[in-house]
Amino acid sequence: MRISGSSGDQSEEPLDIVDENDRVVGQASRREVHARGHPHRAVHLFLVGEGDRILLQKRSDSKASWPGCWDSSASGHVTAGQGYDEAVVREAEEEIGYRCVDPAPVLHLEANELTEQEWVQLYVEKISGRTAFKPDPAEVAGLRWWGLDEVVEALVKTPDAFAISFRTLFFMWRQTRYIVPEKDRSGWYLLHSETADRLQIMRGFLESAGFPASVERDQHWLGHAGHGMFGQKNPMESDLCVPREHLSECISLLYLSEASEEGDEGDR
């Protein structure tokens, strides 16, 4: 998965080299990084609009990789000295003229042969109302809103029309039931809304793995005398929330591990 950043010759752009734990261990030019297969970093952004639609960009025919193919809303390398959060904001502005508001990091893919040795952080951000975009013609041949079911159908029928990185990320996101985490009043991010009984089990699962989690509006877990009500029927809906820095790990635990055990969750 070779992902280009802004326009122009960027073969000498410095990139961080990372180890098997995504820790920076050195630097090299983009050309050397790809030629030698050094693990490095990249970001992707999915912009989600009203009516379950996702904005895809068509890559310019001049791109070195996947020319003319449909891809994420924006994507690119993380340059040397940058973090993932900074890179996704920069790429969105450079490629499609969009200023990110609150991109949520939902999936973190480990570098491997299928990603051309890129550690990839996927961000998702919801857009309300009309938004004007200014795509860079050197990077982007066009933008189009797609329905989620439409993307699935096209990926099955004409997979080569899409960049391989997007194919991988989209189907993984689909396994999370197209999650778009939203910030709650405490500054944590909402992962799931369900009855309190189910969410308390999910919270316990995350906490047992070492991640902080909370169930909003779980005061109805206490009876009038202050006694716990665990195990009793509790139809009231609550929200499961986690801190932003643990979003990717928690989503992977709750959704991707469940999908691998139970089959394709997208078909449920």
Which residue, of 136, 152, 175, is where some domain finishes? Answer: 175
Same domain, 115 and 229: no
Question: What Rg do the C-alpha atoms of the chain give, in angstroms?
Answer: 20
CA 241 to chain centre: 17
Tokens of 252: 């992977």
Q: Is residue 72 part of a domain?
A: yes
Q: Is residue 35 part of a domain?
A: yes
Same domain, 20 and 147: yes
Same domain, 135 and 100: yes
Residues 6+ apart with CB under 8 A from 136: 6, 7, 94, 95, 96, 97
Same domain, 159 and 33: yes
Q: Is the dihedral of CA 93, 71, 170, 27 positive or negative?
A: negative
Q: Is residue 4 part of a domain?
A: no
Per-residue pLDDT, 248: 96
Tokens of 153: 């159908």
Q: Is residue 8 part of a domain?
A: no
Q: Is residue 9 part of a domain?
A: no
Q: Is residue 39 part of a domain?
A: yes
Per-residue pLDDT, 6: 36
Same domain, 149 and 190: no
Total count of domains within the chain: 2
Could you give the CA distance from residue 104 to residue 187 in angstroms, rounded to a whole number?
A: 12
Same domain, 133 and 33: yes
Q: For the domain that residue 123 is a member of, what is the CATH number?
A: 3.90.79.10
Q: Is residue 97 part of a domain?
A: yes
Per-residue pLDDT, 5: 36
The whole model's pTM is what?
0.85
Same domain, 223 and 158: no
Per-residue pLDDT, 196: 77
The 3-state secondary structure of the chain, one letter per residue: CCCCCCCCCCCCCEEEEECCCCCEEEEEEHHHHHHHCCCEEEEEEEEEECCCEEEEEEECCCCCCCCCCEECCEEEECECCCCHHHHHHHHHHHHHCCCCCCCEEEEEECCCHHHCCEEEEEEEEECCCCCCCCCCCCCEEEEEEEEHHHHHHHHHHCHHHECHHHHHHHHHHHHCCCCCCEECCCCCEEEEEEEHHHHHHHHHHHHHCCCCCEEECHHHHECCCCCECCCCCCCCEEEEEECHHHHHHHHHHHHHHHHHHHCCHHHC
Same domain, 212 and 254: yes
Q: For the domain that residue 203 is a member of, what is the CATH number?
A: 3.30.70
Per-residue pLDDT, 217: 65
Provide the b/e sequence for 240-252 (b: ≥16 CB within 10 Å): bbbeeebbbbbbb
Per-residue pLDDT, 264: 47
Same domain, 198 and 226: yes
Q: Is residue 41 part of a domain?
A: yes
Successive 10-residue mean pLDDT values, the chain, 268 residues: 43 89 91 87 96 96 92 95 96 97 95 81 92 94 97 97 93 95 90 84 94 75 48 66 95 79 44
Same domain, 106 and 73: yes
Q: What is the identity of the amino acid at 35?
A: A
Which residue, of 175, 206, 235, is where some domain finishes? Answer: 175
Per-residue pLDDT, 92: 98
Domain that residue 45 falls in: 14-175
Which residue, of 121, 152, 175, is where some domain finishes? Answer: 175
Instruction: Give the sheet arrangement for strand 214-216, strand by strand.
Output: 182-183, 189-195, 237-242, 214-216
Same domain, 130 and 193: no
Neighbours of 266 (CB within 10 A): 15
Same domain, 209 and 136: no
CB 24 within 8 A of CB 16: yes
